[in-house]
Chain A
């Protein structure tokens, strides 16, 4: 396809579907001139598992658990968006206490996801000590998740009309203890990622996405906010208890006074969002009213009610990677007629192209990782140069990236 555009001075590098920077499969084809990237093409679908198709034979409660398996890291966001869509169609009321508990779970997932990403980003530029430092801190957020939900990843906490587990008074000291640990260690993370000279050299003015491109290409989440686009479902609209809380858009200019839209800005936005999430959880614990946590605890009754409903609705939630939106159409049957999932990375694919153009091969891992893509990934790059084919393994490409960091340090 793109091979036609090859000139005498450029050649093509296919990356993926198995690739080091992304932990999930996606296929890139780069047109390279020396070390410089001239053009990029992306192909998707290597992990398209037909989840929406599988929903045609399930009822809404069963779909909640199917939705959790869309993605391990976002195992709260997808059931959430689906629930909001169904509640929108059926007009299900949610008790106020549940609205606050839902925010706590959502923000906890954001902390886990952003710190996971920060560790991966450190690994991509060759700082494995920072990876372990970050993940040590993250472990406490995972412990807290397990304490509150009973599981670390697929949490099965969301349900229509409320939430499945309460945070009782006797649990609050443990929650506060974990939150204080995260707060105390936040400064450590901040200084490593934002003040370190080498991290700055590898991330500043690299992988730039301008505000105009972010708007035109419909970027979402931290990727859009790092380019100065104020877009955050939690602030833009009122759902759950977000409307009651003190929350604002996180853009890089609130710390540095300017917006560059580079990798550094994306690191900065995510780090500040970790702090914001801790703050939001504390606000929720503080303001949470007492009362029921679910409007209809009898599941068969709820399902019978949903069987009578017709109409279509959407559910939107600010996932760690940006806006997630689900469209659901119910036609008075056991299973939904249509369920369309749109994860945030879907919208952050096209912004990769302006980010990567003009950069060097060694920057591919960190730039590609900087949007925090959520697909699933692999380990090998084959460089095909006319008839001579040789492979760049995960290790070799990773070493190239480390070499660049070391080179900058000298």
Chain B
């Protein structure tokens, strides 16, 4: 199904193209069982300006499986982590690519990747309602998990004033 790629080759492929826009790379290898076969995780941090191009480049290398997008409220920024897997379909060939990028809270926007990976829709809708990140060009921007009468401007995963703290402490004061 997919050609064998080493994690170093994957990192080089992206570094050759995006150079300094790739801020950090961490290749983690771990063994398990008696035979000590390896599993590989790549953690890569990129500048948000190259995000869409990066995804296009990734799809050119090999069509990835997007497991999920997770997110952190880091204070001044919101971090998004796209967990991709590559090379599945052959034994011990799979590599997880964890692609992280930070968005400043003053401009919480990122392009959709649904045009390349339509299956990203569920997780992108979740990020919009849970973290308040605007996904530009998302094909369906309705809420997914939150009910329609959930107050606007409150994002359950945030840790600042837009977080849900007020809601659960003073439920009687919440206006729907």
Within 8 A of B (CB), among A323-344: 323, 325, 327, 329, 337-338, 340, 342
Q: B124 to chain A: closest CB distance in Å?
A: 12
Within 8 A of B (CB), among A230-258: 230-231, 233, 235-244, 249
Set of chain A residues within 8 Å of B89, measured between Cβ atoms: 229-231, 236, 249
Distance, CA A386 to CA B93, complexed state (A): 55
Tell whether B57 is near chain A: CB-to-CB under 8 Å. no
B83 close to A350 (CB less than 8 A): no
Distance, CA A88 to CA B98, complexed state (A): 14
Tell whether B117 is near chain A: CB-to-CB under 8 Å. yes
Set of chain B residues within 8 Å of A216, measured between Cβ atoms: 117-119
Q: A263 to chain B: closest CB distance in Å?
A: 21
Tell whether A400 is near chain B: CB-to-CB under 8 Å. no
Tell whether A19 is near chain B: CB-to-CB under 8 Å. no
Q: B78 to chain A: closest CB distance in Å?
A: 11
| In the complex, number of A-B residue pairs with CB atoms less than 8 Å apart | 128
Q: Taking CB as reference atom, which chain B residue is nearest A50?
A: B156
Question: Among the listed stretches B12-20, B47-55, B61-69, which one makes contact with chain A, having 4 or more residues with CB under 8 Å of it?
Answer: B61-69
Distance, CA A312 to CA B83, complexed state (A): 12
Q: B46 to chain A: closest CB distance in Å?
A: 16
Tell whether B176 is near chain A: CB-to-CB under 8 Å. no
A236 close to B94 (CB less than 8 A): yes
| Per-position 1/0 for A73-95, Cβ under 8 A of B | 00000000000000010000010
Set of chain B residues within 8 Å of A342, measured between Cβ atoms: 67-68, 70
Q: B132 to chain A: closest CB distance in Å?
A: 16
B98 close to A314 (CB less than 8 A): yes
B145 close to A44 (CB less than 8 A): yes
B83 contact from A96, A233, A239, A327, Cβ within 8 A? A327
Main secondary structure of the interface of B (DSSP, over half): mixed
Most chain B CB neighbours (cut-off 10 Å) among A94, A241, A323, A342: A342
Q: B93 to chain A: closest CB distance in Å?
A: 7
Decide yes or no: A237 and B72 within 8 Å by CB, A327-B81, A350-B119 being known contacts: no
Q: Taking CB as reference atom, which chain A residue is nearest B40?
A: A237
Distance, CA A218 to CA B64, complexed state (A): 9
Q: Taking CB as reference atom, which chain B residue is nearest A329?
A: B72
Decide yes or no: A240 and B121 within 8 Å by CB, A323-B67, A327-B70, A337-B72 being known contacts: no
Besides the contacts A236-B91, A236-B93, what 5 more A-B pairs have beta carbons closer than 8 Å?
A235-B91, A241-B33, A244-B34, A346-B123, A350-B122
Q: List 17 A-B contacts (CB under 8 A).
A: A45-B145, A48-B146, A216-B118, A237-B39, A238-B39, A238-B92, A244-B33, A312-B81, A325-B83, A327-B81, A338-B71, A340-B70, A342-B68, A342-B70, A346-B68, A347-B68, A350-B118
